[in-house]
Structure 1
Amino acid sequence: MNSGTLLSFLALDLLLVCVPGADWAYVIANGVRGRSVGRAVAGLVAGYALHTTLAVAGLAVLVANSTALLTALTVTGAGYLVWLGWSVLRRPAVPEADAQDTQAPSGGLFLRGATISGLNPKGLLLYLSVLPQFLVTRGAHPPVAVQTAVLGLLHMACCAAVYLTVGLLSRALLAARPRAARAVTRTSGAAMLGIGALLLAQHTL
Protein backbone atom coordinates (compact mmCIF):
# COMPACT_ATOMS: atom_id res chain seq x y z
CA MET A 1 0.00 0.00 0.00
CA ASN A 2 1.66 3.21 -1.20
CA SER A 3 1.09 6.85 -0.36
CA GLY A 4 -0.91 7.37 -3.56
CA THR A 5 -3.43 4.75 -2.49
CA LEU A 6 -3.71 6.27 0.97
CA LEU A 7 -4.21 9.78 -0.43
CA SER A 8 -6.84 8.54 -2.88
CA PHE A 9 -8.73 6.82 -0.08
CA LEU A 10 -8.38 9.88 2.15
CA ALA A 11 -9.81 12.18 -0.55
CA LEU A 12 -12.80 9.92 -1.21
CA ASP A 13 -13.36 9.31 2.48
CA LEU A 14 -13.37 13.03 3.27
CA LEU A 15 -15.92 13.54 0.51
CA LEU A 16 -18.18 10.89 2.02
CA VAL A 17 -17.75 12.15 5.59
CA CYS A 18 -18.56 15.71 4.49
CA VAL A 19 -21.94 14.62 3.10
CA PRO A 20 -24.49 15.51 5.82
CA GLY A 21 -26.35 12.64 7.41
CA ALA A 22 -27.17 11.08 10.75
CA ASP A 23 -23.71 11.79 12.21
CA TRP A 24 -23.94 15.45 11.25
CA ALA A 25 -27.44 15.78 12.70
CA TYR A 26 -26.27 14.29 15.98
CA VAL A 27 -23.27 16.58 16.47
CA ILE A 28 -25.22 19.65 15.34
CA ALA A 29 -28.01 18.90 17.83
CA ASN A 30 -25.54 18.48 20.67
CA GLY A 31 -23.63 21.61 19.70
CA VAL A 32 -26.81 23.70 19.59
CA ARG A 33 -27.97 22.34 22.94
CA GLY A 34 -24.65 23.15 24.59
CA ARG A 35 -23.80 19.54 25.33
CA SER A 36 -20.33 18.04 25.10
CA VAL A 37 -19.49 17.84 21.41
CA GLY A 38 -16.32 15.91 22.27
CA ARG A 39 -18.23 13.09 23.96
CA ALA A 40 -20.76 12.92 21.14
CA VAL A 41 -17.97 12.70 18.53
CA ALA A 42 -16.09 10.13 20.63
CA GLY A 43 -19.20 7.96 20.53
CA LEU A 44 -19.49 8.30 16.76
CA VAL A 45 -15.82 7.38 16.32
CA ALA A 46 -16.28 4.39 18.65
CA GLY A 47 -19.00 3.07 16.35
CA TYR A 48 -16.61 3.23 13.41
CA ALA A 49 -13.91 1.62 15.55
CA LEU A 50 -16.27 -1.34 15.89
CA HIS A 51 -16.75 -1.38 12.10
CA THR A 52 -12.97 -1.34 11.69
CA THR A 53 -12.46 -4.18 14.17
CA LEU A 54 -15.05 -6.33 12.43
CA ALA A 55 -13.52 -5.57 9.04
CA VAL A 56 -10.03 -6.49 10.28
CA ALA A 57 -11.42 -9.75 11.65
CA GLY A 58 -12.79 -10.56 8.21
CA LEU A 59 -16.44 -10.27 9.16
CA ALA A 60 -16.98 -7.46 6.66
CA VAL A 61 -16.18 -9.90 3.83
CA LEU A 62 -18.60 -12.42 5.33
CA VAL A 63 -21.36 -9.83 5.49
CA ALA A 64 -20.65 -8.59 1.98
CA ASN A 65 -20.97 -12.15 0.66
CA SER A 66 -24.24 -12.82 2.50
CA THR A 67 -27.15 -11.09 0.81
CA ALA A 68 -29.54 -11.89 3.65
CA LEU A 69 -27.22 -10.60 6.36
CA LEU A 70 -26.33 -7.46 4.43
CA THR A 71 -30.00 -6.76 3.79
CA ALA A 72 -30.87 -7.28 7.46
CA LEU A 73 -28.16 -4.87 8.60
CA THR A 74 -29.13 -2.29 5.99
CA VAL A 75 -32.82 -2.50 6.90
CA THR A 76 -31.96 -2.17 10.60
CA GLY A 77 -29.81 0.87 9.94
CA ALA A 78 -32.44 2.39 7.64
CA GLY A 79 -35.14 1.86 10.26
CA TYR A 80 -32.98 3.56 12.85
CA LEU A 81 -32.44 6.49 10.47
CA VAL A 82 -36.20 6.84 9.99
CA TRP A 83 -36.72 6.84 13.76
CA LEU A 84 -33.95 9.41 14.29
CA GLY A 85 -35.25 11.62 11.50
CA TRP A 86 -38.79 11.56 12.85
CA SER A 87 -37.51 12.31 16.36
CA VAL A 88 -35.55 15.32 15.09
CA LEU A 89 -38.56 16.61 13.13
CA ARG A 90 -40.81 16.30 16.18
CA ARG A 91 -38.32 18.00 18.49
CA PRO A 92 -35.74 20.06 16.60
CA ALA A 93 -32.83 21.42 18.60
CA VAL A 94 -33.61 24.94 19.83
CA PRO A 95 -31.09 26.59 22.20
CA GLU A 96 -33.65 28.43 24.31
CA ALA A 97 -35.96 25.44 24.65
CA ASP A 98 -33.09 23.12 25.53
CA ALA A 99 -31.35 25.36 28.05
CA GLN A 100 -32.12 22.92 30.88
CA ASP A 101 -31.06 19.94 28.79
CA THR A 102 -27.33 20.69 28.60
CA GLN A 103 -26.28 18.31 31.36
CA ALA A 104 -27.07 15.07 29.54
CA PRO A 105 -25.20 12.06 30.98
CA SER A 106 -21.82 11.69 29.26
CA GLY A 107 -22.33 7.94 28.96
CA GLY A 108 -25.64 8.52 27.20
CA LEU A 109 -24.07 10.89 24.68
CA PHE A 110 -21.28 8.42 23.97
CA LEU A 111 -23.54 5.37 23.68
CA ARG A 112 -26.05 7.05 21.41
CA GLY A 113 -23.25 8.31 19.18
CA ALA A 114 -21.80 4.80 18.92
CA THR A 115 -25.24 3.41 18.07
CA ILE A 116 -25.85 6.03 15.39
CA SER A 117 -22.54 5.42 13.60
CA GLY A 118 -22.64 1.67 14.23
CA LEU A 119 -25.99 1.38 12.42
CA ASN A 120 -25.36 4.13 9.86
CA PRO A 121 -25.97 2.71 6.36
CA LYS A 122 -23.33 5.11 5.01
CA GLY A 123 -20.80 3.45 7.31
CA LEU A 124 -21.83 0.01 6.09
CA LEU A 125 -21.41 1.21 2.51
CA LEU A 126 -17.91 2.49 3.22
CA TYR A 127 -16.63 -0.65 4.96
CA LEU A 128 -18.34 -3.18 2.69
CA SER A 129 -18.08 -1.52 -0.72
CA VAL A 130 -15.58 1.36 -0.76
CA LEU A 131 -12.76 0.32 1.54
CA PRO A 132 -12.13 -3.12 -0.07
CA GLN A 133 -11.39 -1.40 -3.39
CA PHE A 134 -8.24 0.14 -1.90
CA LEU A 135 -6.83 -3.12 -0.53
CA VAL A 136 -3.81 -4.56 -2.37
CA THR A 137 -3.73 -8.35 -2.35
CA ARG A 138 -0.83 -8.96 -4.72
CA GLY A 139 2.87 -8.28 -4.44
CA ALA A 140 4.97 -7.28 -1.45
CA HIS A 141 2.40 -5.41 0.61
CA PRO A 142 1.28 -5.57 4.25
CA PRO A 143 -1.34 -8.22 5.10
CA VAL A 144 -4.92 -7.32 4.17
CA ALA A 145 -5.83 -7.08 7.87
CA VAL A 146 -3.12 -4.46 8.42
CA GLN A 147 -4.20 -2.47 5.37
CA THR A 148 -7.82 -2.62 6.55
CA ALA A 149 -6.81 -1.35 10.00
CA VAL A 150 -4.85 1.55 8.49
CA LEU A 151 -7.75 2.61 6.24
CA GLY A 152 -10.20 2.22 9.11
CA LEU A 153 -8.05 4.43 11.34
CA LEU A 154 -7.84 7.04 8.58
CA HIS A 155 -11.64 7.05 8.35
CA MET A 156 -11.97 7.43 12.11
CA ALA A 157 -9.51 10.37 12.05
CA CYS A 158 -11.49 12.04 9.26
CA CYS A 159 -14.72 11.57 11.20
CA ALA A 160 -13.22 13.03 14.37
CA ALA A 161 -11.86 16.11 12.56
CA VAL A 162 -14.97 16.84 10.49
CA TYR A 163 -17.55 16.15 13.21
CA LEU A 164 -15.69 18.16 15.85
CA THR A 165 -15.55 21.07 13.43
CA VAL A 166 -19.27 20.75 12.59
CA GLY A 167 -20.26 20.47 16.25
CA LEU A 168 -18.18 23.43 17.40
CA LEU A 169 -19.30 25.60 14.48
CA SER A 170 -22.94 24.77 15.17
CA ARG A 171 -22.45 25.87 18.78
CA ALA A 172 -20.77 29.11 17.72
CA LEU A 173 -23.09 30.00 14.84
CA LEU A 174 -26.47 28.55 15.81
CA ALA A 175 -26.60 28.62 19.61
CA ALA A 176 -27.77 32.25 19.60
CA ARG A 177 -30.06 31.81 16.58
CA PRO A 178 -33.03 29.60 17.54
CA ARG A 179 -34.79 29.92 14.18
CA ALA A 180 -31.69 29.00 12.21
CA ALA A 181 -30.97 26.11 14.59
CA ARG A 182 -34.52 24.82 14.17
CA ALA A 183 -34.29 25.06 10.37
CA VAL A 184 -30.92 23.27 10.20
CA THR A 185 -31.95 20.43 12.50
CA ARG A 186 -35.28 19.97 10.72
CA THR A 187 -33.48 19.79 7.39
CA SER A 188 -31.15 17.14 8.82
CA GLY A 189 -34.12 15.23 10.23
CA ALA A 190 -35.95 15.34 6.91
CA ALA A 191 -32.81 14.11 5.11
CA MET A 192 -32.41 11.18 7.53
CA LEU A 193 -36.08 10.30 7.23
CA GLY A 194 -35.94 10.42 3.44
CA ILE A 195 -32.74 8.39 3.14
CA GLY A 196 -33.98 5.79 5.62
CA ALA A 197 -37.34 5.48 3.87
CA LEU A 198 -35.65 5.11 0.47
CA LEU A 199 -33.35 2.37 1.78
CA LEU A 200 -36.27 0.55 3.39
CA ALA A 201 -38.25 0.74 0.13
CA GLN A 202 -35.31 -0.62 -1.87
CA HIS A 203 -34.77 -3.61 0.44
CA THR A 204 -38.32 -4.52 1.36
CA LEU A 205 -40.30 -4.07 -1.84
Structure 2
Amino acid sequence: MIETAHLWLFFVMVLGVVLLPGLDMAYVMASALIGGQRSGLLATAGVIAGGACHVLLGALGVMAVLKVVPAAFNLMLLAGALYIAWIGWTLLRSRIAFDASPSTRVRSGAGTFGRGMATCLLNPKAYLFMLAVFPQFLKPDYGPLWLQALVLWIIIAVCQAAVYGGMALAGEGVRAWLGAKPAANLLLARVVGSMLLVVAAVTAWEGWHLS
Protein backbone atom coordinates (compact mmCIF):
# COMPACT_ATOMS: atom_id res chain seq x y z
CA MET A 1 0.00 0.00 0.00
CA ILE A 2 2.86 2.41 0.71
CA GLU A 3 4.11 2.10 -2.86
CA THR A 4 0.74 2.81 -4.48
CA ALA A 5 -1.14 5.09 -2.11
CA HIS A 6 0.68 8.16 -3.39
CA LEU A 7 -0.50 7.38 -6.93
CA TRP A 8 -4.11 7.96 -5.94
CA LEU A 9 -3.20 11.35 -4.55
CA PHE A 10 -1.33 12.16 -7.77
CA PHE A 11 -4.36 11.09 -9.81
CA VAL A 12 -6.69 13.37 -7.85
CA MET A 13 -4.30 16.31 -8.20
CA VAL A 14 -3.79 15.76 -11.94
CA LEU A 15 -7.52 15.40 -12.56
CA GLY A 16 -8.14 18.66 -10.72
CA VAL A 17 -5.55 20.47 -12.81
CA VAL A 18 -6.87 19.05 -16.09
CA LEU A 19 -10.44 20.06 -15.20
CA LEU A 20 -9.39 23.67 -14.63
CA PRO A 21 -10.12 25.82 -17.72
CA GLY A 22 -6.89 26.67 -19.48
CA LEU A 23 -5.04 26.76 -22.78
CA ASP A 24 -5.14 23.00 -23.48
CA MET A 25 -8.87 22.81 -22.82
CA ALA A 26 -9.60 25.89 -24.93
CA TYR A 27 -7.58 24.56 -27.88
CA VAL A 28 -9.27 21.14 -27.82
CA MET A 29 -12.66 22.81 -27.61
CA ALA A 30 -11.88 25.16 -30.49
CA SER A 31 -10.52 22.29 -32.63
CA ALA A 32 -13.63 20.19 -32.04
CA LEU A 33 -15.96 23.09 -32.80
CA ILE A 34 -14.11 24.05 -35.98
CA GLY A 35 -13.20 20.64 -37.40
CA GLY A 36 -15.47 18.20 -35.61
CA GLN A 37 -14.66 15.13 -33.53
CA ARG A 38 -11.61 14.10 -35.56
CA SER A 39 -9.90 17.46 -35.09
CA GLY A 40 -10.79 17.48 -31.40
CA LEU A 41 -9.32 14.02 -30.88
CA LEU A 42 -6.16 14.93 -32.82
CA ALA A 43 -5.78 18.03 -30.64
CA THR A 44 -6.21 15.82 -27.57
CA ALA A 45 -3.52 13.45 -28.85
CA GLY A 46 -1.19 16.40 -29.36
CA VAL A 47 -1.77 17.60 -25.81
CA ILE A 48 -1.06 14.09 -24.48
CA ALA A 49 2.19 13.99 -26.49
CA GLY A 50 3.14 17.36 -25.03
CA GLY A 51 2.47 15.97 -21.56
CA ALA A 52 4.87 13.12 -22.31
CA CYS A 53 7.57 15.69 -23.10
CA HIS A 54 6.90 17.47 -19.81
CA VAL A 55 7.27 14.21 -17.90
CA LEU A 56 10.49 13.36 -19.74
CA LEU A 57 11.96 16.77 -18.95
CA GLY A 58 10.90 16.44 -15.34
CA ALA A 59 12.41 12.98 -15.02
CA LEU A 60 15.69 14.13 -16.57
CA GLY A 61 15.93 17.04 -14.18
CA VAL A 62 15.58 19.74 -16.83
CA MET A 63 12.77 21.30 -14.82
CA ALA A 64 15.09 21.60 -11.85
CA VAL A 65 17.66 23.35 -14.05
CA LEU A 66 15.03 25.85 -15.16
CA LYS A 67 14.21 26.49 -11.51
CA VAL A 68 17.88 27.09 -10.68
CA VAL A 69 18.20 29.50 -13.61
CA PRO A 70 15.33 31.95 -13.03
CA ALA A 71 16.01 33.89 -16.24
CA ALA A 72 15.43 30.79 -18.41
CA PHE A 73 12.34 29.79 -16.47
CA ASN A 74 10.87 33.29 -16.63
CA LEU A 75 11.51 33.38 -20.38
CA MET A 76 9.65 30.09 -20.80
CA LEU A 77 6.70 31.37 -18.80
CA LEU A 78 6.62 34.61 -20.75
CA ALA A 79 6.63 32.74 -24.07
CA GLY A 80 3.70 30.61 -22.93
CA ALA A 81 1.75 33.59 -21.63
CA LEU A 82 2.28 35.49 -24.90
CA TYR A 83 1.12 32.46 -26.87
CA ILE A 84 -2.06 32.24 -24.78
CA ALA A 85 -2.65 35.99 -25.18
CA TRP A 86 -2.19 35.79 -28.96
CA ILE A 87 -4.85 33.07 -29.29
CA GLY A 88 -7.20 35.03 -27.04
CA TRP A 89 -6.70 38.25 -29.02
CA THR A 90 -7.31 36.40 -32.29
CA LEU A 91 -10.65 35.13 -30.99
CA LEU A 92 -11.65 38.58 -29.76
CA ARG A 93 -10.99 40.08 -33.19
CA SER A 94 -12.69 37.34 -35.20
CA ARG A 95 -16.15 37.91 -36.63
CA ILE A 96 -17.08 34.26 -36.19
CA ALA A 97 -14.97 31.60 -34.51
CA PHE A 98 -16.76 28.29 -34.91
CA ASP A 99 -18.26 27.80 -38.36
CA ALA A 100 -20.04 24.50 -38.94
CA SER A 101 -20.50 24.96 -42.68
CA PRO A 102 -18.84 22.46 -45.06
CA SER A 103 -16.75 25.25 -46.60
CA THR A 104 -14.88 25.85 -43.37
CA ARG A 105 -11.14 25.53 -43.87
CA VAL A 106 -9.89 22.91 -41.43
CA ARG A 107 -6.26 22.57 -40.43
CA SER A 108 -4.60 19.31 -41.50
CA GLY A 109 -4.44 16.41 -39.08
CA ALA A 110 -0.70 16.84 -38.59
CA GLY A 111 -1.15 20.57 -38.07
CA THR A 112 -3.87 20.06 -35.47
CA PHE A 113 -1.77 17.46 -33.63
CA GLY A 114 1.36 19.64 -33.78
CA ARG A 115 -0.38 22.72 -32.51
CA GLY A 116 -1.94 20.72 -29.69
CA MET A 117 1.52 19.55 -28.70
CA ALA A 118 2.91 23.09 -28.92
CA THR A 119 -0.02 24.37 -26.87
CA CYS A 120 0.82 21.93 -24.08
CA LEU A 121 4.56 22.62 -24.27
CA LEU A 122 3.99 26.38 -23.99
CA ASN A 123 1.43 26.12 -21.20
CA PRO A 124 2.81 27.87 -18.08
CA LYS A 125 0.37 25.93 -15.88
CA ALA A 126 2.04 22.68 -16.92
CA TYR A 127 5.51 23.98 -16.03
CA LEU A 128 4.36 25.16 -12.62
CA PHE A 129 2.80 21.75 -11.97
CA MET A 130 5.94 19.91 -13.06
CA LEU A 131 8.09 22.10 -10.83
CA ALA A 132 5.92 22.17 -7.73
CA VAL A 133 4.15 18.79 -7.74
CA PHE A 134 5.79 16.21 -10.01
CA PRO A 135 9.14 15.92 -8.15
CA GLN A 136 7.29 15.14 -4.91
CA PHE A 137 6.08 11.84 -6.38
CA LEU A 138 9.45 10.55 -7.60
CA LYS A 139 10.91 8.60 -4.71
CA PRO A 140 13.94 6.25 -4.95
CA ASP A 141 12.30 3.99 -2.38
CA TYR A 142 9.45 3.23 -4.80
CA GLY A 143 11.68 1.68 -7.47
CA PRO A 144 13.42 2.78 -10.69
CA LEU A 145 12.76 6.45 -11.40
CA TRP A 146 12.12 5.83 -15.10
CA LEU A 147 9.38 3.35 -14.25
CA GLN A 148 7.83 5.76 -11.76
CA ALA A 149 7.89 8.54 -14.36
CA LEU A 150 6.20 6.24 -16.87
CA VAL A 151 3.43 5.38 -14.42
CA LEU A 152 2.89 9.05 -13.56
CA TRP A 153 2.71 9.94 -17.26
CA ILE A 154 0.11 7.20 -17.84
CA ILE A 155 -2.00 8.76 -15.09
CA ILE A 156 -1.64 12.19 -16.70
CA ALA A 157 -2.47 10.79 -20.15
CA VAL A 158 -5.56 8.98 -18.86
CA CYS A 159 -6.87 12.17 -17.23
CA GLN A 160 -6.20 14.22 -20.36
CA ALA A 161 -7.79 11.61 -22.64
CA ALA A 162 -10.89 11.33 -20.45
CA VAL A 163 -11.51 15.08 -20.04
CA TYR A 164 -10.31 16.48 -23.36
CA GLY A 165 -11.39 13.42 -25.35
CA GLY A 166 -14.87 13.72 -23.88
CA MET A 167 -14.99 17.37 -24.91
CA ALA A 168 -13.88 16.44 -28.43
CA LEU A 169 -16.62 13.83 -28.77
CA ALA A 170 -19.26 16.25 -27.52
CA GLY A 171 -18.04 19.04 -29.79
CA GLU A 172 -19.97 17.86 -32.86
CA GLY A 173 -23.35 18.53 -31.28
CA VAL A 174 -22.28 21.89 -29.92
CA ARG A 175 -20.79 22.75 -33.32
CA ALA A 176 -24.10 22.10 -35.09
CA TRP A 177 -25.98 24.16 -32.51
CA LEU A 178 -23.59 27.09 -32.88
CA GLY A 179 -23.88 26.92 -36.66
CA ALA A 180 -27.59 27.66 -36.32
CA LYS A 181 -27.06 30.48 -33.83
CA PRO A 182 -24.53 33.07 -35.10
CA ALA A 183 -25.08 35.32 -32.08
CA ALA A 184 -24.20 32.53 -29.64
CA ASN A 185 -21.24 31.62 -31.84
CA LEU A 186 -19.81 35.12 -31.66
CA LEU A 187 -20.49 35.38 -27.93
CA LEU A 188 -18.62 32.13 -27.28
CA ALA A 189 -15.64 33.41 -29.27
CA ARG A 190 -15.56 36.57 -27.15
CA VAL A 191 -15.90 34.64 -23.89
CA VAL A 192 -13.14 32.16 -24.75
CA GLY A 193 -10.89 34.96 -26.03
CA SER A 194 -11.37 37.00 -22.86
CA MET A 195 -10.77 33.93 -20.71
CA LEU A 196 -7.47 33.24 -22.46
CA LEU A 197 -6.30 36.83 -21.99
CA VAL A 198 -7.06 36.60 -18.27
CA VAL A 199 -5.33 33.21 -18.05
CA ALA A 200 -2.28 34.67 -19.82
CA ALA A 201 -2.03 37.58 -17.39
CA VAL A 202 -2.58 35.47 -14.27
CA THR A 203 -0.21 32.65 -15.20
CA ALA A 204 2.54 35.04 -16.22
CA TRP A 205 2.23 36.99 -12.96
CA GLU A 206 2.01 33.91 -10.72
CA GLY A 207 4.76 32.08 -12.53
CA TRP A 208 7.12 35.04 -12.30
CA HIS A 209 6.61 35.41 -8.56
CA LEU A 210 6.85 31.66 -7.89
CA SER A 211 10.12 31.30 -9.78
In the alignment, residue 115 of structure 2 is paired with which amino acid?
Answer: R
Give distance in 2, aligned partners of 1:185 and 1:164.
Answer: 21
Instruction: Return the match for 2:184 from 180, 184, 187.
Output: 180
Of the structure 1 ranges 195-204 and 99-108, higher mean CA displacement relative to structure 2 is found in 195-204
Which residue is equivalent to 1:196? 200
1:62-101 aligned within 5 A: 62-91=65-94, 92-96=96-100, 99-101=102-104
Change (3 A) 1:189 1:34: same
Name the structure with the higher helix share: 2
Residue 52 of structure 1 is matched in structure 2 by 55
Which residue of 107, 110, 114 maps to 2:117? 114
Unaligned runs of 5+ in 1: none
Q: How does 1:1-16 map to 2 (within 5 A)?
A: 2-16=3-17
TM-score (norm 2): 0.85
Any gaps of 5 or more consecutive residues in structure 2? Answer: none
| Structure 2 partner of 1:158 | 159
How many pairs does the alignment contain? 201
Residues 175, 181 of structure 1: 8 Å contact kept? no
* Residue 41 of structure 2, aligned match among 21, 38, 43: 38
| C-alpha distance in 1 between matches for 2:14 and 2:139 | 18
- The superposition leaves residues 75-122 of structure 1 with CA deviations (integer Å, 9 ceiling, x where unpaired) of 1111111111111222252224x6422542111111111110110011
Alignment partner, residue 142 of structure 1: 143
Task: Confirm or deny: 8 A CA contact 2:85 2:200 kept in the other structure.
Answer: yes
Check if 1:26 corresponds to 2:27: yes
CA RMSD of the aligned region, Å? 2.2
How far apart are the structure 1 equivalents of 2:151 and 2:205? 34
Q: 1:139-197 deviations in whole A, cap 9, x for unaligned?
A: 4x213333223212211221122101112223223432244343334322211111212
Q: Displacement, 1:33?
A: 1.6
Q: Is the 8 A contact 1:93 1:182 kept in 2?
A: yes
Measured in 2, the distance between the counterparts of 1:19 and 1:200 equals: 17
User: How far apart are 1:2 and its partner, in Å?
Assistant: 2.4
Paired letter, 2:159: C
8 A Cα contact 1:43 1:112, kept in partner: yes
CA distance in 1, matches of 2:152, 2:67: 18
- Compute the TM-score of the two structures, normalised by the length of structure 1: 0.87
